[in-house]
Chains A and B, each alone.
Chain A
Amino acid sequence: MVVRIADHLEGCDTNVQGAVVRDMIMSSFSQNDAISLDFSDVHNVTSSFVNTAFIEVLEHFGMPMIKSHLKITGANRQVAKLIGDRMRIEAAKLSIAA
């Protein structure tokens, strides 16, 4: 499934908006389906959004599931960097804790 984020959200700024994306991913993952998120026309994302949309998924399903089932495309540099950085840092924390 491909989801164009700008069709679903006015912005990627808040925990509430992050929860919308988190629920889409969780719903796909729970059926073992892959999901592709297209961030075209998204100007920027905040850490609040990323934490809720992706880190909670990471904590629930783990990095191997994300690597095999989640694709993020159409991102500008800020969006790609913040999502990538946050995921890397939180995945490292999880692997240390495990």
Chain B
Amino acid sequence: MKIALPAQFQASAIFPLVWSTLGDLSELPPIVEFDFSELKFARPSGVVFLSNLSRFLTRRKCDVRFVNMRPNTEAIRFLDDALFFEQHIGEKLRQWSKPRRTTQPLQEVSHKNSHAWLRSEFMPWLSDCSGVPMGNLSDLTTCIGELFNNINDHSSYDVGCIFAQWFPKKDLVEISIADFGSGIPETVRRIEPGLSDNDAIIRAFDDGFSSQSTPRNRGVGLHLLHQNVVERFDGKISVRSQSGAVWYARHGNSLRTVPYKADGFCPGTMIDIDFRTDLIDVDEPADGLEVEWW
């Protein structure tokens, strides 16, 4: 089966394409060929989703092939610099390709090392790009660490990855994290049956709501993400999971939760985060505190 990737390489454009060709991924063809000839522009969500899909197909014994990558086009160079091809076909298309200062190489979220990578690679990179000291990024480190833990708790196929891009002219960072797990709607409905996919995503962000997928879950992670990215950094969170689609942002003084109808189907969960790093508080971080019991 041949899948022609769209010119705008972002997850929202790929979901309908995958749905129309591979359906819900329950039955797979022996060969899937991704055609890059139309590709013009790549966004983090597209990179992450295609990477996860490729890993998923490969682990299900499907022969995955990439064709028509023209190394002289900007989008292909971008993917090559992100080490996408090195990770998926074993070699870079151009031998001199290397990660750009404005991106982190595509990273699989293998739980064993993911938290250490976050502190030793990802956060220092973001600190370097943005000029925000590491000590002021500890809340964000926790938010992404919570998502890694969610992937570990809920992803049945051990497929998940993260990719980020820094836009220096806007002081903006865009982070995409996705897994191929059961998806938020299915997980939430184990506890609260009957919710629509969109309502289930909204429920998952409620403080204290837990799917109880492990006995120690208390349902704090997604709420913390919202508190930090939307409420503190004025950023935006966009969630796609199964047929559900919801975005969160601040509009003036109000916090908006906007469910919407989206085309296609997202296997697992994809979370896109973007925020301006110049809005992160860079006051001297407090250290040496004692936790005050009340």
| Distance to closest chain B CB from A20 (angstroms) | 14
Q: Are A55 and B286 in contact (CB under 8 A)?
A: no
B36-44, B89-97, B215-223: which lies at the interface: B215-223
Given A44-B141, A46-B142, is A84 in contact with B292 using a C-beta cutoff of 8 Å?
yes
Does B288 lie at the interface of the complex (its beta carbon under 8 Å from any beta carbon of A)?
A: yes
Does A48 lie at the interface of the complex (its beta carbon under 8 Å from any beta carbon of B)?
A: yes
Bound-complex Cα distance A6 to B292 (A): 21
| Distance to closest chain B CB from A56 (angstroms) | 8
Where chain A touches its partner, the secondary structure class is helix
Does B134 lie at the interface of the complex (its beta carbon under 8 Å from any beta carbon of A)?
A: yes
Bound-complex Cα distance A73 to B208 (A): 27
Bound-complex Cα distance A89 to B218 (A): 11
| Distance to closest chain A CB from B122 (angstroms) | 12
The 0/1 profile, CB within 8 Å of B marked 1, for residues 54-83 of chain A is 011000000100110001111111111011
Tally of A interface residues using CB under 8 Å: 38
Q: Are B289 and A76 in contact (CB under 8 A)?
A: yes
Q: Which of A10, A51, A66 has the most CB of B within 10 A?
A: A51
Question: Which residues from A are CB-within-8-Å of B285?
Answer: 76-77
Q: Are A44 and B142 in contact (CB under 8 A)?
A: yes
Bound-complex Cα distance A88 to B220 (A): 14
Q: Are B149 and A13 in contact (CB under 8 A)?
A: yes
Does B259 lie at the interface of the complex (its beta carbon under 8 Å from any beta carbon of A)?
A: no
Q: Are B145 and A13 in contact (CB under 8 A)?
A: yes
Question: Which residues from A are CB-within-8-Å of B292?
Answer: 84
| Distance to closest chain B CB from A71 (angstroms) | 7
Q: Are A44 and B145 in contact (CB under 8 A)?
A: yes
Question: Which residues from A are CB-within-8-Å of B26?
Answer: none
Cβ contact of B218, chosen from A55, A66, A74, A75, cutoff 8 A:
A55
Cβ contact of B290, chosen from A44, A46, A72, A78, cutoff 8 A:
A72
Query: Which chain A residue shows the least CB distance to B139?
Result: A78
Q: Are B138 and A11 in contact (CB under 8 A)?
A: no
Cβ contact of B134, chosen from A11, A13, A43, A72, cutoff 8 A:
A43
The 0/1 profile, CB within 8 Å of B marked 1, for residues 37-50 of chain A is 00010011111100
Q: Are A76 and B287 in contact (CB under 8 A)?
A: yes
Q: Are A78 and B138 in contact (CB under 8 A)?
A: yes
19 new A-B contacts, CB < 8 A, other than A46-B146, A47-B142, A47-B218, are A11-B116, A14-B111, A14-B115, A15-B214, A15-B216, A43-B134, A44-B142, A45-B142, A47-B224, A56-B216, A72-B290, A73-B291, A74-B288, A76-B135, A76-B138, A76-B286, A80-B286, A80-B291, A87-B293
Question: Which residues from A are CB-within-8-Å of B216?
Answer: 15, 18, 48, 51-52, 56
Q: Are A46 and B149 in contact (CB under 8 A)?
A: yes
Question: Which residues from A are CB-within-8-Å of B250?
Answer: none
| Distance to closest chain B CB from A35 (angstroms) | 13
Bound-complex Cα distance A74 to B289 (A): 5
Q: Are A80 and B289 in contact (CB under 8 A)?
A: yes
Q: Are A66 and B293 in contact (CB under 8 A)?
A: yes
Cβ contact of A82, chosen from B115, B123, B142, cutoff 8 A:
B142
Pairs of residues from A and B, 8 with the lowest C-beta to C-beta distance, nearest first: A47-B220, A78-B138, A13-B115, A72-B291, A44-B138, A80-B289, A44-B141, A67-B293
Q: Which of A10, A43, A47, A52 has the most CB of B within 10 A?
A: A47
Does B119 lie at the interface of the complex (its beta carbon under 8 Å from any beta carbon of A)?
A: yes
Q: Are B289 and A48 in contact (CB under 8 A)?
A: no
Q: Are A44 and B149 in contact (CB under 8 A)?
A: no
Bound-complex Cα distance A78 to B123 (A): 15
